[in-house]
Chains A and B, each alone.
Chain A
Amino acid sequence: MIKYILKRLVMAIVTIFVVATLTFFLMNTVPGGPFTAEKSISEQARKNLEAKYGLDKPIMQRYVTYITDALHGDFGISLKQRGRTVSSIIATKFPVSAKIGGISVLVALILGIPLGCIAALNRGKILDNIIIVLATFGIAVPGFVVCTMLLYFLGVKLQVLPTTFGDGSWTHFIMPVLSIAFYPTAYIARLMRSSMLDVLGQDYMRTAKAKGVSQFVSLFKHALRNAVLPVVTYVGPMLAYTITGSFIVEKVFTIPGLGREFISSVLNRDYTMIMGTTIFLASLMVFINVLVDIVYTIIDPRIKLK
Chain B
Amino acid sequence: MKKRMLALLLALVMTAGFVLTGCGEKAGSGNGGNDGQQTSDEGGTKKELTVQIGPNPETLDPALNSAVDGGNMLLHNFECLLTVGEDGQIKPGQAEKWEQSEDGLTWTFHLRDGLKWSDGTDLTAEDFVYSWKRVCDPNTAAPYAETVLGMVKGFAEAQAGDLDALAVSAPDEKTLVVELSSPCTFFESLAAFATLSPVQKATIEANGDSWATAPETYVSNGPFVVTEWVSSSHIVMSKNEYYWDKDSIKLDSIKFMLIEDDNATLSAYQSGEILFAKGVPTEEIPSLEGNPEFHVDPMIGTYYISLNDQKEPFTNEKVRKALSLAIDRDYVANTLMQGTYSPAYNFMGPGWMDTDGTEFINNSNGGQPYISEDYEANLEEAKQLLADAGYPGGEGLPALIYSTNDSGYHKVVAEYLQQAWKQLGINVNVDTVEWASFTPLRRAGDYEISRNGWVGDYSDPSNMLDLLYSTNGNNDGKFVDADYDAAMEESRTTVDPAARSAALHKAEDILMEKTACIPVAYYNDFWLQSEKLEGVWHSATGYWYFMYADIAE
Residues of A within 8 A of B (CB): 30-33, 35-45, 48-49, 51-52, 77, 80-84, 89, 92-93, 95-96, 98-103, 105-106, 109, 148, 151-152, 155-156, 159, 161-172, 225, 228, 232, 235, 239, 243, 251-257, 260-261, 267-269, 291, 295, 298-301
User: Closest A-chain residue to B212, C-beta based?
Assistant: A83
B3 touches A151 (CB 8 A): no
Tell me if A31 and B261 are in contact (CB < 8 A).
Answer: no
**A84 in contact with B4 (CB, 8 Å):** no
A159 contacts B272, C-beta separation under 8 Å: yes
Q: Which 6 A-B pairs have the closest CB atoms?
A: A99-B22, A169-B28, A102-B19, A169-B30, A32-B436, A95-B22
- Tell me whether A162 and B32 are in contact (CB under 8 A): yes
By the criterion CB–CB under 8 Å, are A260 and B232 in contact?
yes
Q: Is the CB–CB distance between A102 and B18 below 8 Å?
A: yes
Q: A41-B66, A99-B18, A159-B271 are in contact. List 6 more A-B contacts (CB 8 A).
A: A40-B473, A83-B213, A84-B231, A169-B32, A170-B28, A260-B232
Given the interface contacts A82-B212, A102-B15, A235-B11, does A254 sit within 8 Å of B233 by beta carbon? yes
1/0 contact string of B1-45 vs chain A (CB within 8 Å): 001101110110011111111111110111011010000000000
Neighbour of A295 across the interface among B11, B141, B264, B443, CB < 8 A: B11
Q: Which residues of A lie under 8 Å from residue B261 when comparing CB positions?
A: 251-252, 254
B535 at the interface (CB under 8 A from A): no
B473-A42 in contact (CB<8A): yes
Chain A residue contacts of B28, Cβ below 8 A: 167-170
**Given A31-B441, A42-B145, A256–B473 Cβ distance below 8 Å?**
no
Q: Is the CB of A164 within 8 A of B268?
A: yes
- Contact: A162 with B138, CB < 8 Å? no
Instruction: Tell me, in angstroms, the Cα distance from A52 to B147 when the chains sit together.
Output: 20
B29 x A167 contact (CB < 8 A)? yes
Docked complex Cα distance between A41 and B63 (Å): 13
Cβ contacts under 8 Å, A299 to chain B: 4, 7-8
Contact A156 B4, beta carbon cutoff 8 Å: no
17 of the cross-chain contacts (CB-CB < 8 Å) are A32-B437, A36-B443, A37-B66, A82-B58, A82-B64, A83-B213, A84-B231, A92-B231, A93-B231, A102-B16, A148-B263, A156-B270, A162-B32, A166-B30, A252-B264, A254-B232, A255-B233
For A33, what are the chain B residues with a Cβ–Cβ distance below 8 Å?
436, 440
- Taking a contact as CB atoms under 8 Å apart, the answer to whether B23 and A36 are in contact is no
Instruction: Please state if A261 and B19 are interface contacts (CB–CB under 8 Å).
Output: no
Least Cβ–Cβ distance between A267 and chain B, in angstroms: 6
State whether B18 touches A243 (Cβ < 8 A).
yes
Instruction: State how many residues of chain B have any CB contact under 8 Å with chain A.
Output: 80
B462 at the interface (CB under 8 A from A): no
Contacts of B10 in A (CB 8 A): 295, 298
A164 touches B257 (CB 8 A): yes
Q: Check A254 against B257 for contact (C-beta < 8 Å).
A: yes
Q: Which residues of chain A come closer than 8 Å to B233, judged between CB atoms?
A: 164-166, 254-256
CA distance A103 to B15 in the complex (A): 8
Bound state CA distance, A253 and B270, in angstroms? 15
Residue B346 lies at the interface, judged by CB distance under 8 Å to chain A: no
| Residues of A close to B257: CB separation below 8 A | 164, 166, 254
- The answer, yes or no, to whether B107 is at the interface (CB within 8 Å) is no
Asked if B209 lies at the interface with its beta carbon under 8 angstroms from chain A, I say: yes
A162 touches B273 (CB 8 A): yes
Assess whether B439 is in contact with A298, with CB atoms less than 8 Å apart. Answer: no
Q: Establish whether residues A254 and B473, one from each chain, have CB atoms under 8 Å apart when the complex forms.
A: no
Q: Identify which of A45, A49, A161 contacts B146 (C-beta below 8 A).
A: A45
Given contacts A159-B271, A163-B271, A170-B28, whether A239 and B4 have CB atoms under 8 Å apart is: no
CB-based contact B146/A44 at 8 Å: yes
Are A80 and B58 touching (Cβ within 8 A)? Answer: yes
Residues on A with C-beta less than 8 A from B19 are: 98-99, 102-103, 106
B30 CB to nearest A CB, Å: 4
Report the minimum CB–CB distance from A31 to chain B (whole Å): 4
**Assembly CA distance A166 to B144 (angstroms):** 33
Tell yes or no: B61 within 8 A of A by CB.
Answer: yes
Say how far B255's CB is from chain A's closest CB, in angstroms. 9
Cα–Cα distance between A225 and B474 once the two chains are bound (Å): 67
- Is there an interface contact between B264 and A151, defined as CB atoms closer than 8 Å? yes
CA distance A132 to B17 in the complex (A): 32
The residues of A that contact B453 with a CB separation of less than 8 Å are 38
B454 in contact (CB, < 8 A): yes
Closest Cβ neighbor of B140 among chain A residues: A48
Q: How far is the CA of A132 from the CA of B64 in the complex (A)?
A: 56
Complex Cα spacing A175 to B509, Å: 56
**Cβ of A257: which chain B residues have Cβ within 8 Å of it?**
232
Minimal beta-carbon separation of A237 from chain B (angstroms): 13
Complex Cα gap A191–B25 (Å) = 37
Q: Which one of A161, A254, A267 contacts B264 once the chains associate, using CB atoms below 8 Å?
A: A254
Which A residues lie within 8 Å of B144 (CB)? 41, 45
Any A CB within 8 A of the CB of B259 = yes
Q: Across the interface, do B209 and A269 meet the contact criterion of CB distance under 8 Å?
A: no
Interface presence of B545 (CB below 8 A):
no
B101 adjacent to chain A (CB < 8 Å): no
Is there a chain A Cβ closer than 8 Å to B230's Cβ? Answer: yes
Question: Which residue on chain B has the smallest CB distance to residue A297?
Answer: B7
B61 touches A83 (CB 8 A): yes
Chain B's nearest CB lies how many Å from the CB of A82?
4
Would you call B435 an interface residue if the criterion is a C-beta within 8 Å of the partner chain's C-beta atoms? yes
CB distance from A271 to the nearest CB of B (A): 12
Determine the chain A residues whose CB is within 8 A of the CB of B22 once the complex forms. 95-96, 98-100, 102
Asked whether, in the complex, the Cβ of B146 is within 8 Å of the Cβ of A98, the reply is no
How far apart are the CA atoms of A225 and B28 in the complex, in Å?
38
Taking the closest CB of chain A, its distance from the CB of B501, in whole angstroms, is 25
State whether the Cβ of B248 lies closer than 8 Å to any Cβ in chain A. Answer: no
Chain A residues contacting B211 (CB-CB under 8 Å) are 83
B317 on the A face (CB < 8 A): no
Q: Are B267 and A155 in contact (CB under 8 A)?
A: yes
